[in-house]
Structures are given as C-alpha cells and as structure tokens.
Amino acid sequence: MPKLDFSTYDSKGFYDEMFDENNAVRPNYKLFLERLEKMSLRKLNQLQHATDRSQLSLGMTFNVYNDNQGVERILHLDIIPRIINNKEWNHLEKGLQQRIRALNMFIQDIYNDQNVLKDKIIPKEMVFSSVSYLKELEGFKPPKDVWCHITGSDLIKGGDGQYYVLEDNLRCPSGVSYMLENREILKRTFPELFEKLDVKPVYNYTHILRDTLESLSEVDNPTVVVLTPGTYNSAYFEHSYLAQQMGAELVEGRDLIVKNDIVYMITTHGLQRVDVIYRRVDDDFIDPEVFNKNSLLGTPGLFRAYLKGNVVLVNAPGTGVVDDKAVYAYIPRIIKYYLSEDMILPNVKTYICDEESDRKYVIENIHNLVVKQTDASGGYGMLIGPKSTKAEQQEFIAKIKHKPRNYIAQPMINLSRVPTLTDDTIEGRHVDLRPYALFGDDIKIIPGALTRVALKKGSIVVNSSQGGGSKDTWVLNS
Amino acid sequence: MLGRVANTIYWMNRYLERAENYARFMDVNFNLSLELSPNEEQQWKPLVVITGDWPLYESLHEKAEKNKVINFMAFESENPNSICNCIINARENARAIRPEITKEVWEQINALYYLVKKASEKKRLNDSEVRHFFSDIKNGCQLLYGIYDATISRNEGWNFAKLGQLIERADKTSRVLDVKYHLLLGSAKQVGSSLDLIQWTALLKSVSAYDMYRKKYGKLSSTSIAEFLILDTDFPRSILNCLIRAEQSIVRLCGSSFGYCNNAQRQLGALKAQLEFTDINDIIAKGLHEYLDDIQGKLNDISTAIYEAFFSIEPHVN
C-alpha cells in the first residue's frame, strides 16, 4: 500500500498552516507529518470513517434551519487537526482578553453613563439604531458588572500570516461542545501523538463554566439551569451536552414560571427556585411580556425578575449591540478609548455603508468586496463580490441604497488553509478559528478552539449551515 | 426533577418496552407461520388486534396478510406504535432528557435508532432479514435494559423509568394472553392436538415465558399458563410481578408505603392487591377476557393518574 506523499501538495496562493511557501513543513506540524507519512491514504480514510461513526453514535447531530424537520446531519469532523504553537496562542490569548475586557466596558457604558457616546467615539445613532440595543436596560448593571460571560469570537488568518477578528459573537456563541467532543474523538484517532506533542487539554471547560455561572449568584449553592429552545433547535445537542457535563438542569421556557418576580422551575415536587440561567435563547424570545409577543419559547415575567436582580441571565441581554457589524467597525477606537492601548488583534478593514464616502466606495467596488448585513449571522444575508453575478451585485446595491445602516463591506480575505482529507486525496481547505472565553472573576481563554473548515474546494464559507465542517484544534505547550 | 423531564423518561421507557414486546411476538408468530398451514388471516390478524390498532390497519389494508402485517407493525410510519416509531419516539425522548441518562444509555438508544432507520430505508426485507431485524431489536432493547441497570442511579428518574416500563409490560402481557387465549379456545376440537401444543408454546414464547413456565409447571395447560402470566409473583413478565415492582417504585417516589399519597399510588396499590388475592379459577369462571379487559382499563387509569400526580403539577406559590 503506497504511503501518503505530500510532494505534490499545493501550498501556493494562500497561507497554509502546515507548509510554508517552499512546501517545507512548519515546526508545529513536523511530528504530525511524520506520523501521516507512515500511513496509506486507505488507512487514513478508515480512521475518518471511524470518526464519522463515533459522531453518529454520540448523537452529535444538528437540524439545519429551513430544512425538513427530522433531517439530522453531523458536522463533518476532518481528522487532520489544526495545530497552533504556544507563541501564537499567547498572542491570541492576550488579544482576546484585551478585546473582551474593552467590549464589556463598552456595553456597561452605553447602558449607563454613555461617555463613549458623549465623547463621540461612536455615533449615538449607530448604537441606538442597532436592533440588539435594549432600551429597557438603561441604568442597569449586571452582577459583577459582567455582561459577556461567554464569548466565541471568529478569527481568521490572512495571506500575511496575521490573525484578524472577524466577529465577536457576544450573544449565544455555539460550537464549544464540538471543540470538546472533537478532542475526545481525535484522542482515540491519534493517541500516541497527544503525548509526544504535548497538547494543552480542554476538558476543564465545563468545570470553569459551572464555576463562572455559580460565581454570579450571591446564593450558596445556587440552582443553575441551561435554557434551551428545545430539541428542534440546531444547537440542541450542545445545550443538552453542556447541561449534562455541568450537572445542570436542562429546561425549556415552559418549565419555568415567574411569581412575584422570582423564577421557579416546575418539578415533580412543586416549584423550585432558579438562581442562574445559562440561556441559549435569543434576547428577542426570552420573555413574551417584553419582547417578541408571539414567542412560545420564553417565560412571561423573566425579564422583570432579571431587572430586579432575582435571577442572573448569562449572557446578559443587550450584548448583541457589539455583534452589530457596523458597531464592529468602531472596536479599534473603543479599545483605545477604554484601555488606552492599541488593539492586539486587528479588525478586518470595514466599510460602513451608512457613511457616504464608504458607501460610494462599496458600490463602485462591490465586485471585489464581501458585503454583509449588519444584524445577520450564520453566513446568511451575505454577498461575496468576486464570486457573485452582476444581477446579485445589483440586488445588493439596491439593498444598500434602500437601507445603508443595514450593510457593511469588507475586502475579501484570503483565509488560511489546512490540509484536509477529500474523497481521494489531501488538499488545502480554508479555515477560521473560534476560541472560547469565559468571563467571571477574570477572563479565561480555553486553550483550544473550534476550527471550522469550508469543505468545498475554493469555498471560504465555513458555516455549518452552508457546507462547513470542523477540525480539532491543538494548542501546543511548546 | 422537572415534571416534563419525568414525563419524558416515563414515556421513553414505555416506548422501548413496547418495541421490544412487538419484536418478540412478531418473531414468534413468524416462526409459527413457517410450520402451520397458511391461513394468513387467522394467523396474523390477532397480532394487530392485540395492539388495539386494528381499525388503523383496516383503514390502510383490505385484509390481514403476512407481509402487510409485518410492515404495519414494524415499519409503517402512519402507525404510531410501529416498532420504528416506538424507537424513534424513545430516542427523541432520550434526546430531550439527555442530561438525565448516561452516555452509555444514550449511545445504545442511538444505536437502536440507526438500526430502525437503516431497516426502514430498505424497500423490502426478505424473510431472513425480517427475522434478523426482530432479533436485533430484542437484543438491542435487552442490552439497553442491562446498561440502564448498570449505569443509572436509583433516583427519581429511575423510578419513573421503571413505572413506565412495568406498566407497559403488564399491559402487553395481558394483551398477548387475551387474544391467544381466545384463539385457542375457539378451536376446542383441536385441544390436545399437535397444533394446540404449538400454539400454547408460541403464546409462552411471545412473552419469553416458555422456559420459566416449564420449570415451574412442567405440563402445558391453559389454566396454568393463565395463572403463570397473570398471578405469578416471581416471573418478571407476569402482570402481578410487574405491579409489585411498579408499586415499589411509586412508594419510593411518594416516600411512604403506608396508605397512599395520591391517586396514582392508590390505584396501583389497589390493582396489585386485587391480583394478590385472586385465584385463577375465579378469574376463568368470571371470564378471562373480561378480567383482562378490566386490567387493561385500570392500567390506563393508573397511567393517567401518574400524569396528574407528578407531571402536571399545578404551580402554587405563597
């Protein structure tokens, strides 16, 4: 059986995480490559199939939005890992801590003193017009002044080998269960490599998560629950996984009831008070009394109980302002304003269609840009200029002119690539990186991440809802 | 424990037990059909009648035919009680309460799910594939019971699981006995013939009772078989044994074994006591069918009472 051979692997044109431009292996991948080169493609395919089976048996499935009910898919896990050395990781860690600290201060400020608006660092209209801005929260301070307890920022690496933050995801970032389960599966696939490579463990995520949630309540031994929209939600696997790993009750909105501004869950022995809710339901749906009146997922009175301080919601409501893609453009200035530091992890250059000169540039150069809707996520509501038709471009230009506030544009970034197993060979595929941060008493970045990979050749859309897969991410101790 | 969660655990176990029971008596009947002259209607109709789904069957098919009955009971998506739907429902319930069960239990339920998914995607199964399917379901469910037993704490969830499983099992044993008994008595002229013997054996095997029955009674007789399946205190599929163990679970849930704390405990205790102090000859004198019918009705009432006592608690705060 012929062994794997990388002499014809194409590492040109993009930053490749495994090989440099001369096709020489990068130091962090050296041992891994040695292991691969002792294997045949057939053997590697066998390992890949075993991985697929593990995922099915673990029930790591998700329902795709707009898909038929009951259609389940696994998030394809490619067995070739993303490997990050210690130095690179330290840089990421510092950059994320800085960013999250500043963004948390920003959120507290816009709902309270509004200094950042008075000092004209960001136009007030930009903040108040964000669909995620909640007027109801003005004057409110959450426990320990922490709003964004759980963050899963999306990072990418450009052709220059530099990391950029693409999105901050301060609402309900998902995917951490895949980081954890991918690791368990890969430890079975390449057991000997973990020892040799000295990979940092990620298993304590759910312990830190539970500690973080408990630390937010003043009650001794608080009752912590995970609030899920239910089994039809595409991230349900993760909700149940986290509840089970933390030993928390997994509840739906209908399991909760609010009496005298106190939240209870309905148990077989009557009502039991709830202290901390890790909610995986969007702001809009948590309380039909205040937000979406038609929401069947929510619990009437929940928001009132929250404002009274009788229950902690994690993440706090109202953090979505930062996820607004137009607000994103101001983050470098926001970091400078609160911390008097230059940002460590840069933003991607962003054109704000609401500003006239930017809008003009975007319309003239739309064929070279990626246009995004400011309140969308999951790869929806997006135009990739170089890969779009004239008609699609015209459609987006019309949309931008109609509601400029709703659009931003960014240059096309050449996402870095990692070798990925395809049907009959190994080829580079574009990836991004989603590390997870927990903010309780301090900001902890878990040394690992979900690496999302665009499985289709040439594609840069890594979202699971659009044909993306995942990779385990190994952070080395050296 | 959340009322919704308790309810979901209860039904997850009922569905699993139902699937396993169906697989067993389908398999036995299949086996039987190989050795008997083919009167399909007489052979296969009772199976559907047992389950109470004959009206649905009739709306879909003209008459009872082997392949149609097998498909209806095993795979029919419109039959809410088909083995496939039972497993799909059990797995959906398990997903909803995933934090209450262990990884091992979940993986086994999931394995069953993929088993039925794969089988139902095939256009047509041949005879040996069908038999494999039934025995895979049986084995898969029994493996699951073992994993459940070995990995789940004896907590509230366990007791709701047991309640669901045992009430379902008592109900299914009563139904198997009811229909077969009538079928057998209907052919009185064949009493003592080899056909008769084969039918009685099949009845016992339908509830995995053949070996244990033989051990206890030796000879096959209709009265002894009815006694064994209804009133035996030690056989784990007899109605009384199911009720004894279901009562143990409800006592643990209520916290008291003296008297009763709610309607569910009262009705369950009453039915158990009724069987404890009944003689099989009295039952037969009164009419076995009527007696079993009454038990089935009472089991339904108990299930409703459990729902009201534990799953739909009226919120009340001072």
Based on the fold, state whether residues B137 and B185 are members of the same structural domain.
Answer: no
For the residues of chain B, what is the DSSP string, one character each? -BHHHHHHHHHHHHHHHHHHHHHHHHHHHHHHHTTS---HHHHHHHHHHHHT-HHHHHHH-SS--HHHHHHHHHT-TT-TTSHHHHHHHHHHHHHHTGGGS-HHHHHHHHHHHHHHHHHHHSS---HHHHHHHHHHHHHHHHHHHHHHHHHS-SSHHHHHHHHHHHHHHHHHHHHHHHHHHHHHHHTGGGTTSHHHHHHHHHHHHHTT-HHHHHHHH-S--HHHHHHHHHH-SSSTTSHHHHHHHHHHHHHHHHS--SS-SSHHHHHHHHHHHHHHT--HHHHHHH-HHHHHHHHHHHHHHHHHHHIIIIISPPP---
**Any domain includes A213:** yes
The whole-number pLDDT of residue B46 equals 85
Based on the fold, state whether residues B141 and B265 are members of the same structural domain.
Answer: no
Lowest mean pLDDT among A24-33, A329-338, B163-172, B179-188: B179-188
Interface predicted TM-score of the whole assembly (ipTM), two decimals? 0.81
Based on the fold, state whether residues B158 and B300 are members of the same structural domain.
Answer: yes
Based on the fold, state whether residues B168 and B314 are members of the same structural domain.
Answer: yes
* B157 min Cα distance to partner chain A (Å): 10
Based on the fold, state whether residues A210 and A292 are members of the same structural domain.
Answer: yes
Closest CA to A146 of A116, A170, A166, A114: A170
Structural domain for B295, as ranges:
154-318
Give A195's Cβ-side CA count (13 Å radius).
Answer: 3
Based on the fold, state whether residues A219 and A306 are members of the same structural domain.
Answer: yes
The whole-number pLDDT of residue A282 equals 92
Based on the fold, state whether residues B124 and B160 are members of the same structural domain.
Answer: no
Based on the fold, state whether residues B23 and B144 are members of the same structural domain.
Answer: yes
Based on the fold, state whether residues A364 and A282 are members of the same structural domain.
Answer: no
Q: Is the pLDDT of residue B279 over 60?
A: yes
Based on the fold, state whether residues B89 and B118 are members of the same structural domain.
Answer: yes
Residues of B in contact with A231 (CB under 8 A): 92, 95-96
User: Chain A residue with minimal CA distance to B107?
Assistant: A57
Based on the fold, state whether residues B144 and B221 are members of the same structural domain.
Answer: no
What is the rounded CA–CA span in Å between residue A48 and residue A61?
17
Based on the fold, state whether residues B141 and B195 are members of the same structural domain.
Answer: no
Mean pLDDT of B150-161: 96
Ranges of H-type helices in A162-279 = 176-189, 191-197, 205-215, 236-246
Based on the fold, state whether residues B77 and B218 are members of the same structural domain.
Answer: no
Based on the fold, state whether residues A304 and A366 are members of the same structural domain.
Answer: no
- Going by the DSSP 8-state scheme, the letter that residue A466 receives in this structure is G
Based on the fold, state whether residues A217 and A299 are members of the same structural domain.
Answer: yes
- Of B152, B172, B201, the one marking the end of a domain is B152
- Of B152, B184, B213, the one marking the end of a domain is B152
pLDDT band at B184 (very low <50, low <70, confident <90, very high): low
The whole-number pLDDT of residue A70 equals 55
pLDDT band at B317 (very low <50, low <70, confident <90, very high): very low
* B311 min Cα distance to partner chain A (Å): 6
Residues of B in contact with A268 (CB under 8 A): 1-3, 6, 156, 253, 310-311, 313
Structural domain for A384, as ranges:
351-411
Among the partner-chain residues A243, A254, A270, the one whose CB lies closest to the CB of B313 is A270
SS3 state of residue A168:
coil
Residues A268, B96: C-beta atoms closer than 8 Å: no
**Any domain includes A63:** no
Q: Is the pLDDT of residue B37 over 80?
A: no
**Any domain includes A363:** yes
Based on the fold, state whether residues A295 and A216 are members of the same structural domain.
Answer: yes
**Any domain includes A388:** yes
Report the CATH number that the domain containing residue A384 is assigned in CATH: 3.30.1490.270
**Any domain includes A145:** no
Based on the fold, state whether residues B116 and B162 are members of the same structural domain.
Answer: no
User: Chain A residue with minimal CA distance to B91?
Assistant: A59
- Of B124, B152, B180, the one marking the end of a domain is B152
User: Chain A residue with minimal CA distance to B105?
Assistant: A58
The whole-number pLDDT of residue B188 equals 46
Q: How many domains does chain B have?
A: 2
Based on the fold, state whether residues A309 and A366 are members of the same structural domain.
Answer: no
The whole-number pLDDT of residue A381 equals 80
Residues B2, A265: C-beta atoms closer than 8 Å: yes
Mean pLDDT of B184-195: 54
pLDDT band at B137 (very low <50, low <70, confident <90, very high): very high
What is the rounded CA–CA span in Å between residue A130 and residue A171?
14
Residues A236, B156: C-beta atoms closer than 8 Å: no
- Of A269, A293, A314, the one marking the end of a domain is A314
* B13 min Cα distance to partner chain A (Å): 18
pLDDT band at B195 (very low <50, low <70, confident <90, very high): low
Residues B6, A268: C-beta atoms closer than 8 Å: yes
Mean pLDDT of B55-76: 92
Most confident of A52-61, B94-103, B121-130, B173-182: B94-103
Residues of chain A with pLDDT under 50: 67-69
Based on the fold, state whether residues B148 and B160 are members of the same structural domain.
Answer: no
Overall pTM surpassing 0.90 (yes/no): no
Residues of A in contact with B103 (CB under 8 A): 58
Residues A57, B107: C-beta atoms closer than 8 Å: yes
**Any domain includes A404:** yes
Based on the fold, state whether residues A299 and A224 are members of the same structural domain.
Answer: yes
Q: Residues B176, B141, B77, B29: is their CA dihedral positive or negative? A: negative
**Any domain includes A443:** no
The whole-number pLDDT of residue A297 equals 85
Q: How many domains does chain A have?
A: 2
Based on the fold, state whether residues A212 and A303 are members of the same structural domain.
Answer: yes
**Any domain includes A40:** no
